[in-house]
Structure 1
């Protein structure tokens, strides 16, 4: 009896070690997968705060919570199952889908550059009015969740592409971890950003000396932080989108474009090491992303003109 109990305990311990190793493997793979989606994550974090502009302070966090729940629901109930089925039964479609998504990122990045330097604008960028009704809140939340669906799809497909070689159950576990972790990360940071000026204002009014100084600095600095985050998001979109498209052309058999970038990376690596090589690849991908995005912006503008019969406005 004692020997049987010891054997049972040994089996339990072995299973526990196996489970712990599997959890570690899932965590490491999820971390590797999400690192490739960093550009989209930054963009998602940069875009979301504008959807709570105009709400009273007491409604900002509840609205962010609603958007976060909608984002997680999209990832777990729609995007992840579709991506897993695709990877299982039509893995050949992942590269073209990634390239379409990468092209969308290039388009968004190039459009934002055009808005910045070309005088274009979106109506949504204008000064918001205070939103009070439940219906207005519902409409704004729904719009934010729709936008998040596109960005979440990119995050999940990019992540899936990094672990496509894993067994189906491992892929499923990894994507679930990615979905939950990315939602908590993005909307946790968004909540901190949105409420940072309120915290600063509280410190400035209630505090004295150093606290008041810090509070005033937080209030004054938040617009700059948001502007910097927006710029980083644009650069990240162009870099990630450009790299996805370049790598996709190489995977599909057209090696010229990515071959040039890879050669530039090797030259930079020989001159200054791994960091300089990475920077060269990143810069080349971002430049390509900007050029490819500009082509798509031009095409979309022409299509809009043809349909409307009048000049298109960004």
Structure 2
């Protein structure tokens, strides 16, 4: 009896060790996958704050919560099942689908630049968000979730590539961990960013002189930071979209553009102390230029050419 109990306990201990090792493996793989997607995570964090710009302070966090939940649905209920099925049965289809998303990011980035340069904004954007009401809030949340879908797809596909050798169940568990962790990270940081001005107002009312100074700096600096993040978000769309297209064309067999960029990276990589940074800058700049060109073509087709044809027909 005691021998049987000892054997049972040994089996339980062995199973516990195996389970612990599996958890460690999942954690390590999720960490690897998340690290590879870090660049897109930064882009996602930079893009989101512009969607709550202009709304009253009491609506900012509820909007971010809605966007975060939408992002989680994007990752876990739509993107995850789709890419797992594609990776299992149609792995060749992942790259073209991702490139379509890249074109959309390029378009959205250039469209924002076009609106700023031309002064042609949708009429509803000329009014403060608080005046536009609940419908505008729903519109902005939907827009943020739509843009998040493309960035989330990029994050999940990059993560999937890092664990492609794992079994189907392991891939699913790892990607669930990555999706939840990255969503919490991105929208937690976004929430902190958009509420820092409220923290500043609170500190500026304190008796401590140093607290008041910090509070004043936060209040004065946050609008500039949000404007900067908006600009970074537009640039990030071009960079990420262009990079998706650059890598995608190479994967599909057109090696010319990627080869040129890789050669330029190699040319600067040997610079002492700065080689790695310069190589990254070359790749980033090349990706942004590609994104700008592709986005400009799409904007011309959808906005510029129809307006010119309309003007010509009126004359």
**TM-score, reference length from structure 2:** 0.84
**CA, structure 1 residues 234+21, in 2 after alignment: closer, same or farther (shift >3 Å)?**
farther
Alignment coverage as a number of residue pairs:
310
Determine if contact 1:39/1:233 at 8 Å carries over to the other structure: no
The one of 279, 296, 299 aligned to 1:297: 299
Bigger mean CA deviation after superposition, 61-70 or 205-214 = 61-70
Residue 180 of structure 1: how far off its partner (Å) = 0.8
Instruction: Tell me the distance in 2 between the aligned counterparts of 1:119 and 1:205.
Output: 39
Determine if contact 1:70/1:145 at 8 Å carries over to the other structure: yes
Instruction: Tell me the distance in 1 between the aligned counterparts of 2:152 and 2:58.
Output: 27
Paired position in structure 1 for 2:65 = 65
Aligned residue runs from structure 1 range 260-275, under 5 A: 260-272=260-272, 273-275=275-277
Q: CA-to-partner distance for each residue in 1:235-262, whole Å, 9 max, x for gaps?
A: 3322222222111111111111111111
Paired position in structure 1 for 2:47 = 47
Residue 211 of structure 1: how far off its partner (Å) = 0.3
Residue 217 of structure 1: how far off its partner (Å) = 0.3
Determine if contact 2:242/2:291 at 8 Å carries over to the other structure: yes
Paired position in structure 2 for 1:155 = 155
The alignment partner of 1:165 has SS state of coil
Instruction: Tell me the distance in 2 between the aligned counterparts of 1:115 and 1:31.
Output: 39
Aligned residue runs from structure 1 range 130-169, under 5 A: 130=130, 138=138, 140-169=140-169
Residue 33 of structure 1: how far off its partner (Å) = 2.8
Residue 70 of structure 1: how far off its partner (Å) = 2.7
Paired position in structure 1 for 2:176 = 176
Instruction: Tell me the distance in 1 between the aligned counterparts of 2:104 and 2:36.
Output: 16
**CA, structure 1 residues 164+186, in 2 after alignment: closer, same or farther (shift >3 Å)?**
same
Residue 104 of structure 1: how far off its partner (Å) = 1.9
The alignment partner of 2:271 has SS state of helix
**TM-score, reference length from structure 1:** 0.84
Bigger mean CA deviation after superposition, 158-167 or 198-207 = 158-167
Paired position in structure 2 for 1:231 = 231
Residue 207 of structure 1: how far off its partner (Å) = 3.7
Residue 143 of structure 1: how far off its partner (Å) = 4.6
Paired position in structure 2 for 1:309 = 310
The alignment partner of 1:271 has SS state of coil
**Structure 1: stretches of 5+ with no match in the other structure:** none
The alignment partner of 2:128 has SS state of coil
Determine if contact 2:47/2:234 at 8 Å carries over to the other structure: no
**Structure 2: stretches of 5+ with no match in the other structure:** none
- Over the aligned positions, Cα root-mean-square deviation in angstroms equals 2.9
Paired position in structure 1 for 2:219 = 219
Bigger mean CA deviation after superposition, 52-61 or 74-83 = 52-61
**CA, structure 1 residues 23+96, in 2 after alignment: closer, same or farther (shift >3 Å)?**
same
Bigger mean CA deviation after superposition, 27-36 or 134-143 = 134-143
Aligned residue runs from structure 1 range 2-151, under 5 A: 2-117=2-117, 119-123=119-123, 125-130=125-130, 138=138, 140-151=140-151
Instruction: Tell me the distance in 1 between the aligned counterparts of 2:138 and 2:118.
Output: 33
The alignment partner of 2:164 has SS state of coil
Determine if contact 2:50/2:226 at 8 Å carries over to the other structure: no
Instruction: Tell me the distance in 1 between the aligned counterparts of 2:112 and 2:136.
Output: 26
Q: CA-to-partner distance for each residue in 1:241-296, whole Å, 9 max, x for gaps?
A: 22221111111111111111111111111234333323322222222222222222
